[in-house]
Amino acid sequence: MQPAQMYDSAATMFSPDGRIYQVEYAREAVKRGTTAVGLVFDGGAVLLVDKRISSKLIEAAAVEKIFKIDRHIGVASSGLVGDARMLVARARAVAANNRVVYGEKIEINVLVKDLSDIMQAYTQNGGVRPFGAAFLMAGIDPDGTMRLYETDPSGAVVQYKATAIGVGRAAAIEYLENEYRTGFDEAAAINLGLKALYRQSDASAATTAGGEPAVDIATVTAKDGYRLLGQDEVKRYVQASQA
């Protein structure tokens, strides 16, 4: 069998054992990214992202890992920030175009399929590379059903009740599998999400040296739509989860 180096120069080439190395490398970029957790609760969903700052010179407010796509859809990203930003721009444009053309908000399954189709297309064309980013996408269907999807650099999409991506994925999912229950309210879901998010590290990592939250939290509910929690609110949840 030829060595891997013979097959890892293009996303369009399968190895003899059926692997596409460029896609696997893209997944590695996601695995090295900061941890993001998503959970569905009774009436909505919550997205949480670890945004620990590597230097005190960085302006924490400028680090963005959770994005509003539309009034009823939010996403959390992990992996290469530039790749994620490009896909977020695409998602926002598709959602806005749907409102203009059809006069209604886009269904989340339609939007996640569009994004995954783009990601998959970048694994089949020469001269391009796969996106080194993955998303947790939460949104509300027209009938009020809450949906949480995970996208993958290969273009795969899976719907979850609770899941995680990024460097702490394995530890977070193990915790969620043991502790997640249906019927959680918003506060309980956020508390569980914070514990899962920092399952792999000390809980003190949830705050910076200056005492500010090192995590972003957003909720998507039928009542309020997408809402990014303010720092004071996040700080209260972080303190409650450490009690």
Active site residue: 12, 34, 182, 208, which one? 34
Active site residue 34: yes
What is the distance between the alpha carbons of residues 54 and 46, in angstroms, rounded to a whole number?
25
CA 230, 236, 238, 241 torsion-angle sign: negative
What is the distance between the alpha carbons of residues 2 and 21, in angstroms, rounded to a whole number?
13
Q: Is residue 160 a contact partner of residue 45, using CB atoms and an 8 Å limit?
A: no
**Residues forming the active site:** 34
